[in-house]
Amino acid sequence: MEKRPAFCLFRRFIHGHRRSFFWAMVATTVSILLTFLAPQIIRFTVDGVMAEELSLFGSLRQTLIFAGLGILLCTALSGVFNYISRINLGKGTEGMIKALRDTLFAHVQKLPFKWHVDTQTGDIIQRCTSDVEVVHRFISAQLIEAIRTVVLIMVALALMFAMNVYLAIFAAIFIPGVVAYSALFYAGIAKRFLKADEAEGALMVRVQENLTGVRVVKAFGRERFELDKFHEKNNAFAKAWIDLGYLLGTYWGLGDIVTGIQTMGVVIFGAYLAVNGQLTLGELIAFISYSHILAWPIRALGRTLSEMSQTSVSAKRLLEILDAEPEEEPSAAKTPDMTQDVTFDHVTFSYQNTPVLRDLNFTIPKGSVFGILGATGSGKSTITYLLTRLYDLPEDGGKITVGGCDLREIEQDYLRGQVGLVLQEPFLFSKTIRENIAIARPDASLDRIRQVAKVADVDDNIMAFGKNYDTLVGERGVTLSGGQKQRVAIARTLLCDTPILIFDDSLSAVDMETDAKIQAALRERTKGATVILISHRVSTLMHADQILVLDEGKQTEMGDHKALLQQGGIYSRVYTLQSQAERGEVL
Amino acid sequence: MEYDTIPQQQSFSIATWKRLGPFVKPVRGRIVLALVLILLTAVTDVILPLFTKYAVDWFIVPQTTSGIVPFALAYLAVIAVQGVLVIFFCRHCMVIEMEMGRQMRTACFTHLQKLSLTYYNQTPVGYILARVMSDTDRISSVVAWGIIMFFWDIMFMTGIIISMFILEWRLALIIIFIMPIIGGVTFFFKSRLLKVNREIRSVNAKIIGAYNEGITGAKTSKTLVIEDQLTEEFSGVTGKFFSARMRETRLNAVFIPLVVMIGSVAAALILYQGGHMVMEDVLALGTLSVFLSYVLVILEPVQQMARIFSECLAAQVNIERVGDLLSQDERITDTPEVQAKYGDIFTPKRENWEPIRGDIRFQDIWFKYPDGDEFVLEDFNLEIPAGTTVAIVGQTGAGKSTLVNLACRFLEPTRGKVLIDGKDYKERSLLWLQSRLGYVLQNPHLFSGTVMENIRYGKLDATDEAVIAAAKLVSADRVVEKLEDGYNTQVGEGGDRLSTGEKQLISFARAVLADPPIFVLDEATSSIDTETEGLIQNAISHILQGRTSFIIAHRLSTIRHADLILVVEEGKIVEQGSHDQLMASRGRYHGLYTTMMLREETDLHGFWPDGDETDEE
């Protein structure tokens, strides 16, 4: 059944909040009972006044005082319980939603990299925000209200039946009718809502495209054409909402008529019964009050029913995320010393049936600098993913070992803590620069942070910002250039002092002089660490102990700078071109 | 957001609301009609509780059922009338809301088409979009529903008060006494709730931001092993959200029972006072029951009025924002005389347009940007005969597009004249010039729709054959044929479904179809695969033949073949001449050229064509 996902989600997160919900229910029930007492007091008063039976409270004046005080007491108490119920409900619902959000975030963080690549960022963010909102709204506004309404109806019916069976039956037969009517209407309204939403989306796209393409519009002088297209969508949008408004108007109007007839029925039928002596006037007034109290909640109940399906769609989308498998840890994960040789042994890797790496065999000796030269699409980034286990090699894809230990047997977090990876387009968080550099080592001193920033040749840039290291990065702060971002990311990785370092084209946005300067400083700083440099720029790699040339996933050449030059392959051709160009500049 | 410079107003401002005048005017009739409908609805709302009174006084107390049938019919009639009134009133309100919104959006959109590029360069699209869509939405909904419901509140309250005074003025005084109390309490709580709501929204924005970072930065957080730390931080933000929401809950938990409580005080007082009067036979029993119903329903309009009032205050910000957009200076416009002859941008008088040959002359030009204070062009003179290819070179951000924007009249010189075919372009209309430009951008923009529709944008009445011929001319047909549905392939929003190279070729075809006498090209710096690259080079050489063209150039081959090269540095033209002249003079061009050569040749793309590596970002 379609109700299940919402229920599943609810059950998963109600844990720890049961007490709040329990007390909320108790308080709600008590509050409702007290609300229903007031009409009963009026009933006794009216009947007492009518029959002039003043025996209960003595004089008339006393009766009236007691009645007035009774009503006040009832509402006051009902108010107190209402308060308790709302506070508990708030705690329960908000607590549950907080748990849901936190779990979603933690879970998304723990999902494998492949999942992140395969899913669309926008879609996930949409689910984690709007769908959570839908669930929240349903629980806080609708579900609780629905339960309240059910209690309300039951209590009201019990009281009504106790007073007069016929009139109670008369009032009761309207309830399922009104609920069904509302549910049906809301289903129809939901459809038109969808249409109106789509029309709004279409208009939005139209305006947005016009604005982003304004240069094209102006260059071709297409203002008139654009205006006509805009009119079309603008009119469609207005029409869709007016259609919706028509249906809503009908719903409200007819709803008013139906509830009006119900009240009228109670009044007239009740008057008839009262005249025949089967109902006292006080009872009739109580009846009328009850049917007034019930009118709106019953109509809301229909709405709740129809919105249930929408909520279950959202719940399903959330469960899809929550049920995705997080990264697996090997059983008995190892944490070996990582200052060892790294060996690629017949490594072959495909992504979505496209071969990316083909039979790689090489060893990176510990403490050496290893260069990888390759163009976009040569598979060089995939090597970094494999080394950090963002992707795992399949069983038949050969193996990568560190000091003889298969990477797949090493604990993931341990491995990533030992391998420092700097990406070509690094991601910085919207925090201060200091926090960004120290993100993996939050207790690092400013001295140490500045030290690594100096190695990455970014300290001067940072000191030039208004708030130095406390400058915010991103929308609310400074916008860093590509090269500055890369250098901050290098500093961030250096701070971790990892035994293995990988620079994946991470100086591509820096000019050659700075590149060389940083490299020299790096070599000084990372002595003893195994360094893997990846680039398409020869100058970045030429001082490496060994250089691997990668072409379409195959290793085509390997050796040090001299050996590769003698080989006369791709490497030497690229090098020749570069020196020619350099000479050209000197001329 | 930094562009939101208009603060929330604390007081009601008539001047602000007057800005809505032009949009209210077309729906005036409907508003009057809606007000009449709402007035009648309020009357029925006041009448309905009276039926209970008469049922008590006419049937129950005298113990008779005679006359109950006409009574029931009258009752039914009022209910039916009310239902029908509600239906029509809702419909009218919706039409008013939508009609006003439509008018406002049209006004914004029309005005936006007239604004110069300077405005677009300074204002983010998201900001403009919010003005056109959400602000207008808020305004029209407040006017249509808020203000009209406000009228209902007043009518309903007045009706009840009148009815009560007719029935029994002494009891009426009790209700009138509590109304200001309810109003005060409501205002007190609503203003606090409004503040909490604002906080909730801002924390919510933080949550969305955190998700955004957590998801787009997944690779980074995994490799740095900081997932747990980020999760903990996130939990701090949701904790703030929790406490803000709880504050809202607490306010509501006090507010709602309190209002009910005040109502009960009034009910108890009425019961006490009214009971006495019934016993003393100065009040009919039915009247007492009507008062008890009135005391319950009168609480609603008072609360609603307080709510609408705070909404109206909030909507003033929206009105100011839309008003600001509409009063944005167009900066570059045609004089009335020019408009009279050439027509405006929406209704051009093409029959009066002279053809363009493409001679362009910059005459004694002084130029500074509207937001800058330094002249970037000082007494600049340049003669560009028709058919010349002008290459503009310089570092990123050096201001290479200034000259192009001046030539296209996207900007106008501060002093001096730009002559086209010997006549100051201000003497002809904007559209006269701009509709004859071919303009291809670095990051070509396509509109959602098919490839065919996108190419046809260059010439709206072109036949399919003409479109295909244009595509062939620039070799775009080769990439189009590879697409799933050929020319009927949907390109997606902004052309997202195509690669940059494909988009570029299609935008070339679009430009060629327009057959412009003047052509502007902002060459792409992004690397495109070798094959497409070749096609593009070929297309460019085709397009340039016989046209006056400006190229913001990045490719050496393009630059070398240009008739005239302009070197730009810090917004100023520092050198000009042909390739050979400039190389011989060994100035800035020489340095720039050699650096570019270095970059172009060391790039490995010459050796390895781009593969499809799907796991790269």
pLDDT tens digits, one per residue of A458-472:
887 787 777 788 887
Chain A residue with CA closest to B257: the answer is A79
What pLDDT score does A397 carry?
81
Length of chain B counted residue by residue: 617
What pLDDT score does A53 carry?
52
DSSP code of B355? P
The first and second tokens of residue B38, run together, are 């709402």
CB contact under 8 A, B55 and A271: yes
| Distance (Å, whole) CA A124 – CA A119 | 7
| Section B295-309 average pLDDT | 77
Chain A residue with CA closest to B605: the answer is A375
Which is it for strands A554-559 and A546-551: parallel, antiparallel or unpaired?
Answer: antiparallel
CATH topology of domain B14-168+283-326: ABC transporter transmembrane region fold (1.20.1560)
**A:96-125 residues touching chain B, CB 8 A cutoff:** 98, 101-102, 105-106, 108-111, 113, 116-117, 121, 124-125
Chain B residues whose CB is inside 8 A of the A503 CB are none
Strand-by-strand arrangement of the B360-367 sheet: B377-384, B360-367, B415-420, B423-424
DSSP for A315-362, written as a single string = HHHHHHHHTSPPPP--TT-B----SS-EEEEEEEEEETTEEEEEEEEE
Q: Which residues, 6+ apart, have CB-to-CB distance to B616 below 8 Å?
A: A376, A377, A381
Query: Residue B378: what are its φ and ψ, rounded to 5°?
Result: -125, 115
Mean pLDDT over all residues of chain A?
A: 80
The first and second tokens of residue B114, run together, are 């007239």
Name the residue with higher pLDDT: B350 or B166.
B166
Chain B residue with CA closest to A248: the answer is B90
For chain A, give every domain's residue range: 4-322, 342-425+498-586
Whether residue A302 contacts residue B86, with contact meaning beta carbons closer than 8 Å, is answered with no
Residue among A283, A310, A247, A260 nearest A2 (CA) = A310
CATH for A4-322 (1.10.540.10, 1.20.1560.10, 1.10.1040.10, 2.40.50.140): 1.20.1560.10
Chain B residue with CA closest to A235: the answer is B102
Touching check for A217 and chain B: CB below 8 Å? yes
| Section B212-218 average pLDDT | 78
Residue B524 CB neighbour total at 10 angstroms: 20
Which is it for strands A405-406 and A399-402: parallel, antiparallel or unpaired?
Answer: antiparallel
Query: Does pLDDT of B525 surpass 60?
Result: no
Residue A9 CB neighbour total at 10 angstroms: 22
What pLDDT score does A584 carry?
42
CB contact under 8 A, B601 and A67: no
Whether residue B19 contacts residue B132, with contact meaning beta carbons closer than 8 Å, is answered with no
- Give residue B567's Cα distance to chain centre: 39
Whether residue B139 contacts residue B314, with contact meaning beta carbons closer than 8 Å, is answered with no
Which is it for strands B518-522 and A554-559: parallel, antiparallel or unpaired?
Answer: unpaired
| Section B143-152 average pLDDT | 86
Which is it for strands A399-402 and A342-351: parallel, antiparallel or unpaired?
Answer: antiparallel
Q: Which residues, 6+ apart, have CB-to-CB distance to B405 below 8 Å?
A: B117, B411
Chain B residues whose CB is inside 8 A of the A213 CB are 445-447, 494
Chain A residues whose CB is inside 8 A of the B604 CB are 374-375, 536, 574
Residue among B510, B557, B504, B509 nearest B526 (CA) = B504
Task: Note the CATH number of domain A342-425+498-586.
Answer: 3.40.50.300
Q: How far apart are the first and last CA of chain B?
A: 29
The angle subtended at Cα B460 by Cα B456 and Cα B461, nearest 5°, is: 110
Chain B residue with CA closest to A107: the answer is B231
Distance of residue B265 Cα from the nearest chain A Cα, in angstroms: 6
Query: Does pLDDT of B2 surpass 50?
Result: no
The first and second tokens of residue B305, run together, are 């009025």
The first and second tokens of residue B63, run together, are 């113990």
Residue type for A458, please? V
pLDDT digits (tens, 9 = 90+) for A298-324: 777 776 776 777 778 788 888 888 888
CB contact under 8 A, B99 and A117: no
The first and second tokens of residue B347, run together, are 């209704």
Query: Residue A222: what are its φ and ψ, rounded to 5°?
Result: -100, 25
ipTM summary value: 0.78
Which is it for strands B572-577 and A554-559: parallel, antiparallel or unpaired?
Answer: unpaired
**A:14-43 residues touching chain B, CB 8 A cutoff:** 38, 42
Among A308-317, B249-258, B322-331, the range with the most confident prediction by mean pLDDT is: B249-258
Binned at pLDDT 50, 70 and 90, residue B76 comes out as very high
* Nearest-by-Cβ selection for B445 from A129, A212, A249: A212
Whether residue B57 contacts residue B281, with contact meaning beta carbons closer than 8 Å, is answered with no
Query: Does pLDDT of A398 surpass 60?
Result: yes
For residue A422, what are the β-bridge partners?
A503
| Distance (Å, whole) CA B119 – CA B107 | 17
Interface residue of B81, B224, B300, B610 to substitute, partner A, most A CBs within 10 Å:
B224
| Distance (Å, whole) CA A51 – CA B156 | 36
Residue among A71, A2, A64, A3 nearest A40 (CA) = A71
Percent of chain A predicted with pLDDT > 70: 91
DSSP for B548-585, written as a single string = EEEEE---HHHHHH-SEEEEEETTEEEEEE-HHHHHHH
Which is it for strands B360-367 and A405-406: parallel, antiparallel or unpaired?
Answer: unpaired
Interface residue of B604, B605, B610, B612 to substitute, partner A, most A CBs within 10 Å:
B604
Residue among B550, B564, B539 nearest B437 (CA) = B550
| Section B335-362 average pLDDT | 81
Query: Does pLDDT of B4 surpass 60?
Result: no
pLDDT digits (tens, 9 = 90+) for A284-299: 888 888 887 777 777 7
| Distance (Å, whole) CA B478 – CA B552 | 26
Cβ-count burial B366-376 (b if 16+ within 10 Å, e if not): ebbbeeeeebb
What pLDDT score does A155 carry?
85
Which is it for strands B518-522 and B548-552: parallel, antiparallel or unpaired?
Answer: parallel
Query: Does pLDDT of B84 surpass 90?
Result: yes
DSSP for A541-583, written as a single string = HTTSSEEEEEETTEEEEEE-HHHHHHHTSHHHHHHHHHHHHHH
Chain B residue with CA closest to A388: the answer is B223
Residue type for B401, please? S
CB contact under 8 A, A116 and B218: yes
Query: Does pLDDT of A480 surpass 80?
Result: no
What pLDDT score does B85 carry?
92
Residue B98 CB neighbour total at 10 angstroms: 25
Query: Does pLDDT of A335 surpass 60?
Result: yes
Burial (Cβ within 10 Å: 0-12, 13-18, ≥19) of residue B561: middle
| Section B453-478 average pLDDT | 86
What pLDDT score does A511 carry?
66
What pLDDT score does A337 carry?
78
Q: Which of B10-19, B222-231, B531-540 has the lowest mean pLDDT?
A: B531-540
Whether residue A318 contacts residue A96, with contact meaning beta carbons closer than 8 Å, is answered with no
pLDDT digits (tens, 9 = 90+) for B377-430: 888 888 888 888 888 887 665 677 788 888 888 888 888 888 888 888 888 888
Mean pLDDT over all residues of chain B?
A: 80
| Distance (Å, whole) CA B22 – CA B603 | 59
Which bin fits B443, alpha (ψ -120 to 50), beta or left (φ > 0)? beta
| Section B106-123 average pLDDT | 81
Interface residue of A429, A441, A473, A490 to substitute, partner B, most B CBs within 10 Å:
A429
Binned at pLDDT 50, 70 and 90, residue A330 comes out as low
Binned at pLDDT 50, 70 and 90, residue A79 comes out as confident
DSSP code of A456? T
Fold agreement between A4-322 and A342-425+498-586: no
Residue A457 CB neighbour total at 10 angstroms: 20
Chain B residues whose CB is inside 8 A of the A292 CB are 293, 296
Chain A residue with CA closest to B218: the answer is A109
What pLDDT score does B535 carry?
73
Query: Does pLDDT of A587 surpass 70?
Result: no
CB contact under 8 A, B55 and A223: no
Residue with tokens 């730390």: B229
Query: Does pLDDT of A353 surpass 80?
Result: no
Whether residue B48 contacts residue B76, with contact meaning beta carbons closer than 8 Å, is answered with no
| Section B336-350 average pLDDT | 79
pLDDT digits (tens, 9 = 90+) for B602-617: 454 444 333 333 333 2
Query: Does pLDDT of B79 surpass 60?
Result: yes
Percent of chain B predicted with pLDDT > 70: 90
Interface residue of A28, A275, A503 to substitute, partner B, most B CBs within 10 Å:
A275
DSSP code of B343? B
Burial (Cβ within 10 Å: 0-12, 13-18, ≥19) of residue A560: middle
| Distance (Å, whole) CA B91 – CA B82 | 14
| Distance (Å, whole) CA A489 – CA A496 | 11
